Amino acid sequence: MKTMTTASNEQGWTARLLIAAAVLFLLVFLLLPLTAVFVEAFRKGVGAYFKSFTDPYARSAIKLTLIVTATVIPLNLLFGITASWAITKFEFRGKGLLLTLIDLPFAVSPIVAGLIFVLLFGSRGWFGPWLKAHDVQIIFALPGIILATLFVTFPFVARELIPLMQSQGTEEEQAALVLGAGGWQIFRKVTLPNIKWGLLYGLILCNARAIGEFGAVSVVSGHIRGQTNTIPLHIEILYNEYNFAAAFAMASLLTLLAVATLAIRSFIEWKTRREQAAALGEI
Amino acid sequence: MSIQITNLTKTFGSFTALKNISLTVGTGELLALLGPSGCGKTTLLRIIAGLETPDPGSGAVIFHEEDVTNSGVRQRQVGFVFQHYSLFRHMNIFDNIAFGLNVRPRKSRPSKEEISQRVHALLKLVQLERHAALYPRQLSGGQRQRVALARSLAVEPRILLLDEPFGALDAKVRKDLRRWLRRLHEEISITSVFVTHDQDEAMEVADRIVVMNHGEIEQIGTPQEVYDHPANEFVYHFIGDVNLFHGRLEEGKVRIESSEAGKEKPEVVAYVRPHEIELSRTAHPEAIAARVQHLSIAGPVARIQLVRLDTNQSVEAEITRQLYDELQLRTGETVYVNLRNLRVFRPEERTRP
């Protein structure tokens, strides 16, 4: 940007034009809708806004979303670290395939992700009869929602950690090993402190997606009010019932979450940049 | 603590990194593994540490009568210093050095005061007493390498292994640090093996040098032995600068001739070090005429680039500053080259392809 501001007049005009276009775009497509969410949410007054959250169905949706997120995040933490550790610290056959598989959920449409689980565990699915015989309900119940959310969120942590751990190499771990540290000690005292910011970043993205996921969850949930509706599904139902104020009140929750995610994300990026600058300063 | 290695082989896929290596390192000895990159020296060091495993059934690593071939890294109790220091970047210098003690099981872990005492003693040994609270990124390369050394010594290893310890440092720091390592070794006299590709470093620091090439040991000897009596062409080449002369063998003597005479005599290649070349202004039958092409005078020696008048081959000579001042050489003039110490290798001593 510095070169832009000190550049010639002509370039100055180009810069101004581009900046204006970008700002206009942001206003129309991001800031305006964001404001609309809150304006609509408060249209019937603050009282009505807060009343929307006391509705039992709304409470149930919030609760379900929290349960799903609280289950998915630790599992993704475990999976993300395991996969990144395996990929970056060891050499083995099929490493490339594993890397591709981790990216698969990003490439597959969420609807397809949902359908996969219906196909597997639905009443007419592969394991459907067996599950029915053992009285286990996966589709149109909590386990299905968790599985679908897990599927769409699992690349986040691993995708953050793999490049980071690749750039750090394995020499510090080897040094710790020679000094007599055991596997768990090496992880806790050497690897984890080096990857903590990347890990947190991955978890925050994973959290945002887990709370906001609509497509995959919509397929497996069955939309049973008070039972299998997550926040995004509940919003859709409210909206279809022309209950706009309540729909936007719930939407404002998700929006606030997004803003918070962005804030934490910027903080982490700022923090990692500082640490990277410090690391570069050492060479 | 001595180290004994017998018939060790290591292959990576189809690449043979080490071929049937046998080697003994004496107690308290400082041994250098010297060779070009890819010669297997680092692999050998890592096998001694237990960071790599030799090919199954191919040989043994023995620490003072204890066979550690199948022991893990932790059981071997070695100190290892990495080329790029590998300090723990999120720990300060004190915690870096204390790491090996802090990770011990509670039973064998020294008390906090003991650890602190030992760390401070080591900081003193590596002359970084005032840096305990700093982080690795705040230190220079040379300081970091000293911390890495202190960290490896904190656990009182049975042997010390160093992988190109000065490789990433600049020339001046390198020289200081290798002298310092030599002195340190005399002080604590722990059996040590270090890897280097720098022959000066090996010559200056090591008690004995192992010259390696293509996964095999070419020669083992004291620096002087290796320099004065190189076992083969490769060692001769690797250990210092060389001039090459083609000649023919005549009645047990080498004749450096470019003429067609004596074509039936066997051809040989003779080697001369630059400092074994004499220059004079007067012609005599044995001498080779050459033109002075370039002069470079730095410090006590003068390096002279010459071109042979008969074959246009270049020859490098090194003479004392004093002699240089007496000769008053000028670029472009013709001088006579006399070879003081010709070295000819028998065919079996020739470099392997």
Give the start-to-end residue ranges of the domains of chain A: 1-41, 45-281
Min CA distance, B32 vs chain A (Å)? 20
Instruction: Kindly state the tokens that stand for B164.
Output: 């190109």
Confidence of residue B344 (pLDDT cuts 50, 70, 90): confident
Calculate what percentage of chain B has a pLDDT beyond 70. 95
d(CA A199, CA A188): 13
d(CA B144, CA B147): 5
Torsion angle defined by CA atoms of residues B138, B140, B145 and B147, in that order, rounded to the nearest 10 degrees: -40
Fill in the amino acid letter for B138.
Answer: Q
Residue B59 in this model has a pLDDT that exceeds 80: yes
H-state helical runs in chain A: 2-6, 9-26, 32-41, 46-52, 56-89, 95-107, 110-121, 128-133, 142-153, 155-168, 171-178, 183-186, 192-212, 215-221, 231-240, 244-281
What was the pLDDT predicted at B262? 60
Min CA distance, B292 vs chain A (Å)? 43
Q: Do B89 and A174 touch (CB under 8 A)?
A: no
Q: Do A180 and B103 touch (CB under 8 A)?
A: yes
Q: Do B99 and A171 touch (CB under 8 A)?
A: no
Closest A-chain CA to B109: A180
What was the pLDDT predicted at A281? 54
Closest B-chain CA to A188: B103
Min CA distance, B317 vs chain A (Å)? 39
Sign of CA dihedral B76, B81, B83, B89: positive
Tell which of B76, B92, B99 to mutate to test the A interface (max A CBs under 10 Å).
Answer: B99
> Which residues are registered as beta bridge partners of B208?
B31
Tell me how far apart the terminal alpha carbons of chain A are, to the nearest angstrom: 26
Nearest CB neighbour to B103, from listed A174, A185, A193 = A185
Chain B residues bordering chain A (beta-carbon distance below 8 Å): 49, 51, 73-74, 77-80, 82, 84, 86-90, 99-100, 103-104, 136-139, 148, 151-152, 154-155
d(CA A63, CA A60): 5
Across the range B221-238, mean pLDDT stands at: 91
CB < 8 Å to B89, chain A: 172, 194, 279
Least confident of A120-129, B149-158, B215-224: A120-129
Contacts of A102 by beta carbon, 8 Å cutoff, 6+ apart: A83, A154, A155, A158, A159
CB < 8 Å to A176, chain B: 88, 99, 103
- Mean residue pLDDT across chain B: 88
Q: Which CATH superfamily is domain A45-281 in?
A: MetI-like (1.10.3720.10)
What was the pLDDT predicted at B264? 67
Most confident of B25-34, B167-176, B344-353: B25-34
* Per-residue model confidence as pLDDT tens digits over B296-341: 887 888 899 999 988 888 899 998 888 888 888 888 888 998 888 8
DSSP labels for B206-230?
-SEEEEEETTEEEEEE-HHHHHHS-
CB < 8 Å to A193, chain B: 90
CB < 8 Å to A279, chain B: 89, 137
Number of residues assigned to chain A: 283
Among residues B274, B273, B306, B308, which one has the least CA distance to residue B288? B308
What was the pLDDT predicted at A177? 94
Across the range B166-181, mean pLDDT stands at: 85
What was the pLDDT predicted at A2? 46
The CA-atom distances, in angstroms, between A40 and each of A35, A36, A193 are 9, 6, 44
Confidence of residue B205 (pLDDT cuts 50, 70, 90): very high
Instruction: Kindly state the tokens that stand for B161.
Output: 């292994």
Q: Do A179 and B84 touch (CB under 8 A)?
A: no
Min CA distance, B142 vs chain A (Å)? 12
Q: With helix as H, strand as E and coil as C, how does B81-122 read?
A: ECCCCCCCCCCCHHHHHHHHHHCCCHHHCCCHHHHHHHHHHH
Domains and CATH numbers, chain B: 3-239 (3.40.50.300), 243-349 (2.40.50.100)
The CA-atom distances, in angstroms, between B288 and each of A20, A265, B110, B247, B337 are 80, 76, 71, 12, 5
- Per the CB < 8 A criterion, the answer to whether B93 and B102 are in contact is no
CB < 8 Å to B148, chain A: 175
Closest A-chain CA to B157: A179
Nearest CB neighbour to B103, from listed A179, A193, A279 = A179
Q: Do A279 and B137 touch (CB under 8 A)?
A: yes
H-state helical runs in A90-182: 95-107, 110-121, 128-133, 142-153, 155-168, 171-178
Assembly ipTM: 0.82
CB < 8 Å to A187, chain B: none
- Per the CB < 8 A criterion, the answer to whether B130 and B162 are in contact is no
What was the pLDDT predicted at B353? 40
Q: With b meaning 16 or more CB within 10 Å and e meaning fewer, what string describes A247-277?
A: bbbbbbbbbeeeeebeeeeeebeeebeeeee
Min CA distance, A48 vs chain B (Å)? 51
What was the pLDDT predicted at B44? 95
d(CA B177, CA B187): 15
Residue B81 in this model has a pLDDT that exceeds 50: yes
Q: Do A282 and B100 touch (CB under 8 A)?
A: no
d(CA B292, CA B301): 16
Phi-psi domain of B311 (left: phi exceeds 0; alpha: psi -120 through 50; beta: other): alpha
Across the range B96-104, mean pLDDT stands at: 95
Q: Do A180 and B90 touch (CB under 8 A)?
A: no
> Which residues are registered as beta bridge partners of B344?
B270
Q: Which residues of chain A have pLDDT under 50?
A: 1-5, 7, 282-283
What was the pLDDT predicted at A3? 47
What was the pLDDT predicted at B350? 59
Closest B-chain CA to A180: B74
Min CA distance, A233 vs chain B (Å)? 44
CB < 8 Å to B149, chain A: none
Question: A with B: how many residue pairs have Cβ under 8 Å apart?
Answer: 66
Closest A-chain CA to B144: A282
